[in-house]
Amino acid sequence: MTHDTKTKIVSVERFVPAAPGLIFEVLADPRQHSKIDGSGSVRSAQVSAPPRLSLGAKFAMDMKIGVPYKMTNTVVEFEENQRIAWQHFGGHIWRYILEPIDGGTKVVEQFDYNGSKSILILKLRGSMKSNEKFMTKTLENIEKYFTA
């Protein structure tokens, strides 16, 4: 786990015993996100969400942190079986980087708040530390998805 305040990226990684392509299919399907979310805030994909994400695709998620709300994201990075990232109106980016290694994949999840419009609010809420904890849980959930 790393939290680099100079680059404004919180990063966690985990070995998952599955091929990058299999993991990428889960990440590229918004309907699977609630199954792997480690924060407990992702409820479901909106009906309008595409069945598979691609560069520039927009998708809305039903969320809940205290109260229910909807969050619309745009895919801003997309390299088949290697990298996928989305951004919402707050400006920060959630990114997954997949690197094949013997017997599986190194999965890196990043919370990139370089473009955030509300860094002060993120700091006051302790989002960097809580996101690191939630991302660790998400990667555990991804591993369980393939080993359960």
Per-residue pLDDT of 84-109, as tens digits, reads 999 998 889 999 999 999 999 999 99
Per-residue pLDDT of 33-75, as tens digits, reads 999 999 999 999 999 999 999 999 999 999 998 899 999 999 9
Using alpha carbons, list the distances in angstroms from residue 146 to 26, 112, 139: 10, 26, 11
pLDDT confidence of residue 121: 72
The whole-angstrom separation of Cα 78 and Cα 101 is: 20
Does residue 1 surpass a pLDDT of 60? Answer: no
pLDDT, mean over the chain: 92
The whole-angstrom separation of Cα 36 and Cα 118 is: 26
Residue 40 has, within 13 A of its CA and on its CB side, a CA count of: 5
Closest CA to 50 of 76, 30, 77: 30
Structural domains of the chain, with CATH: 2-147 (3.30.530.20)
Vertex 15 angle, CA 9 and 19, to 5° = 110
Does residue 16 surpass a pLDDT of 90? Answer: yes
Kindly state the average pLDDT of the residues 15-37.
97
Its pTM stands at 0.92
Kindly state the average pLDDT of the residues 2-28.
89
Percentage of the chain beyond pLDDT 70 is: 95
Does residue 6 surpass a pLDDT of 90? Answer: no
Amino acid present at 142: I
Q: Which residue has the higher pLDDT, 10 or 123?
A: 10
